Amino acid sequence: RELLRGELAGDEVLVVSNREPYIHQQTANGIEVARPASGLVTAVEAVMRACSGTWIAHGSGNADREVVDKHDRVPVPPECPEYTLRRVWLSKEEEQGYYYGFANEGLWPLCHIAHVRPVFRSSDWEQYVKVNRRFADAVIAEARTDDPVILVQDYHFALLPRMVREALPRATVITFWHIPWPNPESFGICPWREEILAGMLGSTIIGFHTPFHRKNFLETVDRYLETRIESEASTISYGGKLTQVEPYPISIAWPGTTEVSSESQSECRANIRKALALPADHLLGIGVDRLDYTKGIIERFQAVERMLELNPSMVGRFTFVQIAAPTRSSLDEYQSFEARVRALALRINQRFSNGNYMPILLKAEHHDQYQLNRYYRAADVCMVTSLHDGMNLVAKEFIAARSDEKGVLLLSQFTGAARELHEALIVNPYHIEQSADALYRAITMPEAEQRERMRSMRTLVKDFNVYRWAGHMLLDAARLRKRERVMQRI
């Protein structure tokens, strides 16, 4: 944290993201402040608290106009303000086309290989261009200096870097792409692929979670744009502008002090079981996701079913709690996914239920970080079975919560996290038999082996925490800023 502050001393920092870190909701009890379920927000918030500045985001609260206007520019966190949240309010039509349409029916399935077909509509694209322009204008208006550091987050703003660069040529624009980047063939089906790539190349630095996504990006640019690429140096020269492309694996804050329960590990274990009406020695699995088709929730339930089928002694002894925060629920694909998840949980529960016993407890509602930490600490195994995932911070949050060095992480090989957390039980989530075996291995793993694995994963997450993630990017940015200033003097 301190290092990060030092790195940015004297520089103006602006963040742009779609999701806002605090949502002001009008309720019967007045205004209440909610936190969204988003790995991106969790990570960037930790950075913003360390370096202050202004965070520009889409205002998503349901507060009425009068209240909303008052919350255009608010100091946050509400309890002890450390930076400014500047909201951009969108019309229904803009939100529909830019966020639900182009970003989440187009780019999201395009970049995640989860075999859901992307939908590209010209009308959505028009809104995407328009909203990128609106956010770019907000950035330009907020900037107090002509060379701020601008951290652009994710696939909602592929066009914004170039728009900002045109108005603020001396700015350092760092774009971080939080989701995977597919191979050139997959990306090439996007009707506006050239515009997206050219927009992103307005950035000084483009970051991905893994070297693999970076390689895919370089190959995609090489395929579709006239550029000069230096693969060794990982730079792209386009229209007289140089962009550095690097992997920066995202992480979590360490220690995550504020949201840790005051209960001891063993109290958490006992209290959660009591609350779920389970015996004290019951084996517990946990899954925490947004209800998204990329997360492999169906495959996870199938693995639980297969494990119980293969190991009848676990029927009545093992329960899997799936916490699934509703997300993007106005889209058909998400509605039908939720229906399939619910139907599968019901079928498996009917098959194995006995008295009060149900193998799957599906909690399809938002839980805050405090509640999640209690579940993480109570669980014997955490299952992260994404079909494709940029990083997956649930895996790292689970590890951070286990100061007792117990519990097993079962992790999909298709997450960015699997490239770092080698001591997890790594599975191919499409291979149900393999995941079922890994699940059984996890819940019967000797304590000494759990400790050995957990200890080394904890060391890694502690060392490569979110401040390192941001620190690496900002250090690279500082180096490039210096170089540019020297060049300007020559």
Interface positions, 1-20, toward ligand G6P (CB under 6 A): 18-19
User: Measured from the CB of residue 430, what is the shortest distance to ligand G6P in angstroms?
Assistant: 21
Three-class SS state of 235: strand
Calpha distance 440→168 (Å, rounded) = 56
Query: CB of 287 within 8 A of CB of 323?
Result: yes
Rank residues 39 and 148 by Cβ distance to ligand G6P and give the closer one.
39
Window of 32-40, 116-124, 366-374, 482-490 that interacts with ligand G6P by CB under 6 A = 32-40
Window of 36-44, 225-233, 334-342, 394-402 that interacts with ligand G6P by CB under 6 A = 36-44
Determine if 40 is a binding residue for ligand G6P (CB under 6 A).
yes
Three-class SS state of 141: helix
- Residue among 432, 344, 390 at smallest CA distance from 410: 432
**In the chain, what is the straight-line distance between the N-terminal and C-terminal CA atoms, in Å?**
35
Asked if the peptide bond before residue 249 counts as cis, ω within 30 degrees of 0, the response is no
- Residue among 319, 310, 308 at smallest CA distance from 285: 319
Among 7, 24, 39, 174, binds ligand G6P (CB under 6 A): 39
Query: CB of 172 within 8 A of CB of 204?
Result: yes
Three-class SS state of 252: coil
- The owner of tokens 């006992």 is 270
* Tokens found for residue 357: 């016993």
Rank residues 155 and 318 by Cβ distance to ligand G6P and give the closer one.
155
Determine if 178 is a binding residue for ligand G6P (CB under 6 A).
yes
Q: Which residues are CB-neighbours of 268 under 8 A, at least 6 positions away?
A: 261, 374, 377, 378
Q: Say which amino acid occupies 190.
A: C
Q: What DSSP string runs through 146-185?
A: SS-EEEEESGGGSSHHHHHHHH-TT-EEEEE--S----HH
Among 12, 20, 38, 46, binds ligand G6P (CB under 6 A): 38
Rank residues 18 and 435 by Cβ distance to ligand G6P and give the closer one.
18
User: Measured from the CB of residue 380, what is the shortest distance to ligand G6P in angstroms?
Assistant: 27
Backbone torsion region of residue 10, taken as left when φ is above 0, otherwise alpha when ψ lies between -120 and 50, otherwise beta? left
User: Measured from the CB of residue 38, what is the shortest distance to ligand G6P in angstroms?
Assistant: 4
User: Measured from the CB of residue 351, what is the shortest distance to ligand G6P in angstroms?
Assistant: 32
* Tokens found for residue 76: 């946050």
Report how far apart, in Å, the C-alpha atoms of 426 and of each of 248, 384, 417, 429 are.
22, 10, 10, 9
User: Measured from the CB of residue 202, what is the shortest distance to ligand G6P in angstroms?
Assistant: 19
Window of 37-45, 163-171, 209-217, 302-310 that interacts with ligand G6P by CB under 6 A = 37-45
User: Measured from the CB of residue 196, what is the shortest distance to ligand G6P in angstroms?
Assistant: 16
Calpha distance 43→295 (Å, rounded) = 19
* Tokens found for residue 75: 């100091």
Determine if 372 is a binding residue for ligand G6P (CB under 6 A).
no
Q: How many residues bind ligand G6P (CB under 6 A)?
A: 11
Rank residues 290 and 374 by Cβ distance to ligand G6P and give the closer one.
290
Among 16, 164, 179, 229, binds ligand G6P (CB under 6 A): 179
Rank residues 86 and 178 by Cβ distance to ligand G6P and give the closer one.
178
State the binding string over 287-316 for ligand G6P (x if CB under 6 A, else -).
---x--------------------------
Interface positions, 109-168, toward ligand G6P (CB under 6 A): 154
Asked if the peptide bond before residue 255 counts as cis, ω within 30 degrees of 0, the response is yes
- Which residues share a beta bridge with 17? 57
Determine if 94 is a binding residue for ligand G6P (CB under 6 A).
no
Rank residues 104 and 172 by Cβ distance to ligand G6P and give the closer one.
104
Interface positions, 383-402, toward ligand G6P (CB under 6 A): none
Determine if 328 is a binding residue for ligand G6P (CB under 6 A).
yes
Rank residues 38 and 172 by Cβ distance to ligand G6P and give the closer one.
38
Rank residues 129 and 393 by Cβ distance to ligand G6P and give the closer one.
393
Q: Site residues (CB under 6 A) for ligand G6P? A: 18-19, 38-40, 154, 178-179, 290, 327-328
